[in-house]
Structure formats: C-alpha cells, structure tokens
Homo-oligomer: A and B are copies of this chain.
Amino acid sequence: MVNRAQKTESIALWMVEDDALFRDGVRTLINRTPGFFCEHTFTNCEDALKLLETEDAPRILLMDLGLPGMSGIEGMRRVKELSPATDVLVLTIYDDDERVFEAICAGASGYLLKNSSGEEIVSALSQIIQGGAPMNAQVARRVLDLFSRMAGPKGKYDLTPREKEVLGLLVGGLSKRQIADKLIVSFYTIDTHLKNIYEKLHVHTRSGVVAKALKERLI
C-alpha cells in the first residue's frame, strides 16, 4: 500500500496491462521509485475508463496495446478525450508501423517496448514529466521514417509564382471566375494558367490538381 505522504507529493500513475507478471513487476518498480506511485492497475481499458468517470485522472497512464476487449489504441483515444492533460506512455511488445502510427495519432506521449529495463522505464517517467517524449530508439526511427514518408517527395514541377498562387486558390475551392475576380485579372488569364498547371502536373481535372497539390505539398 501507499502512504499518505506519497499520495500528496508524488505523481499518480495508472496502468492498463493484462499480463499479471509484467504488471506487478512494473508496479513494484514504480512504487519503489521516489516521486511516483502506481495508484491503480487494470487488466482492460473498460475498467480504467469507468473509474475515470468518478476519480481524478492520473498524471501518467501506462498503456499496453494488446489487450482483451477494447484495444489500447482506442482506450488511449478515449482517455485523452476525457483527460487531455494525462500523458499516456505506451508500453508494449509491438513496434510495427501501423501500431506506432495509430498510437501517436491517438496522442501517446511516449512509446517503450517491454524489453526496456527498469531504469529506462523510470527514466521515461521523469522525461515525460519534463515535457519530453521517451521513445525506444527503434520506434523513434520508425516514427522518423513514417514522418518523412508521409511528408512525401515534395514534387518539383517548376510552377511559376503566379501559378502557385492560382493553385492555392484552386485548392481553396474557388472557381475560375472567382479566382479571376480575386486576382483582378481576366477569366481567360486564369483559364490559361490552369491549362499550364494541368500540363505541368500531368493532370486533366481540378480534382486531380487538388489531390496532387495536397499529397505532394505543393502549396
């Protein structure tokens, strides 16, 4: 059990983890660490969410991903909805692109693998409190790769400044007429610009332009 002094001065953690062995190991580790205490543990997200309705949210939530019932990702999403200030530290065996991506999008503040040492886990908690995002280096590499792939190849099509301007308005949803009015030029001028843009981007429709511009961040 946890004494009163710890409760008032220490940082509260909750943990969702279905593996009893791992759960108890981490709880013991945390409760031996000054400044932190493990307030509740759960074997599934549903129970944690239920308690969140009546109790104050913890500062940090340790979250497994492979869980019975609601997935850790979905659980994280709901927790962050109810308590955006809670930092969720993912602690899992999975490090595939899909899971890492989803976890980050769901608002994870860190991502450790279960092969992490006790030291690493404790250090991760401090880093989270300091506004950092502790990540397994392999996971971090995945994140960077995903990121740069997502940011894409930023195609180079040698659009002129004016063409980029027109492109921007096009993506904004304006018609040729509206673009012409906004730039105070003739309708026909915009028509010509569009023809040139289409040719440069190798597309034949407005939607094609918009898709390409957004996918390749041309604007």
Contacts and interface: CB of A to CB of B under 8 A. Distances in A.
Interface in A161-219: 170-173, 175, 203, 205-211, 214-215
Interface residues of A, number: 42
B134 A134 contact: no
A209 to B, nearest CB: 8
Interface in A123-181: 127, 130-138, 140-141, 143-144, 146-148, 150-151, 154, 170-173, 175
A36 B206 CA distance: 54
Interface stretch (A27-35, A39-47, A102-110, A114-122): A102-110
The main secondary structure of chain A at its interface with chain B is helix
A128 to B, nearest CB: 8
Contacts of A211: 171-173, 210, 214
Task: Give the number of copies in the complex.
Answer: 2
Contact of A143 (B106, B127, B133): B133
A151 B105 contact: yes
A172 B203 CA distance: 11
A147 B137 CA distance: 17
B138 A135 contact: no
Can you list the 6 inter-chain pairs with the closest CB atoms, starting with the nearest?
A132-B137, A133-B141, A133-B140, A214-B214, A105-B151, A127-B137
Interface of A: 101, 104-109, 127, 130-138, 140-141, 143-144, 146-148, 150-151, 154, 170-173, 175, 203, 205-211, 214-215
